[in-house]
Amino acid sequence: MNCPRCEAQLKVEKYKGIEVDRCPECKGLWLDHPELDQLEDTVMDDDDLKGTMEYARRASEISCPKCGVLMTTFNYRAYNLPIDYCPDEHGFWLDKGEEERVLELIKQRTKDLKRSSNAEVEWGKFLGRMGSRSFMEKVKDLFKG
């Protein structure tokens, strides 16, 4: 299989325990269709919490190295990270360094979800301490002189 960017022969290698195809010239990475999810799972394996993967789809400038069909580009999980994929679900093309960016974004998503969950717990505790009177009644009391 040849690189969709520079036509060099892709080399099979292991990355994060996943067998991938990497270009020795431009350092891009081909992930077969399930392998992008496997890559994300090295950081976060709850697919329901990952959210939608594809935003702002548009035509790509490269073709699938497996079938030759023009690929589609999308913004990965609403970030400014364009990833190309085969519309026939053969796989994803990540340019040099994009696999590391995917992992960074999933790690950040995990941190954000933990912070959000902790904030909800603390808010619940706060409201529980407020007692039977409504929150707004207590705020009004603060302004009574």
**Full-model pTM:** 0.75
Question: Is residue 125 predicted with pLDDT exceeding 70?
Answer: no
Residue 118 is given by DSSP the state H
* Tens digits of residue pLDDT in 24-53: 999 999 999 999 999 999 987 765 566 778
The reply to whether 2 falls in a domain is: no
Beta carbons within 10 angstroms of residue 109's beta carbon: 18
Domain extent, residue 21, equals 11-143
* Angle value at C-alpha 65, between 82 and 43, nearest 5 degrees: 45
The reply to whether 6 falls in a domain is: no
The reply to whether 62 falls in a domain is: yes
The reply to whether 78 falls in a domain is: yes
The reply to whether 68 falls in a domain is: yes
How many domains would you assign to the chain?
Answer: 1
84: Cα separation from own chain's centroid? 13
The reply to whether 4 falls in a domain is: no
The reply to whether 37 falls in a domain is: yes
Rounded to an integer, the average pLDDT of 9-21 is 97
Burial per residue of 47-58, b for 16 or more beta-carbon CB atoms within 10 angstroms, e otherwise: eeebeebeeeee
Q: In Å, what is the CA distance from 113 to each residue of 3, 106, 109, 119, 129?
A: 36, 10, 6, 10, 25
The reply to whether 43 falls in a domain is: yes
Beta carbons within 10 angstroms of residue 6's beta carbon: 12
Beta carbons within 10 angstroms of residue 102's beta carbon: 24
User: What pLDDT is stored for residue 72 in this prediction?
Assistant: 98
Nearest to 110 by CA among 28, 43, 33: 43
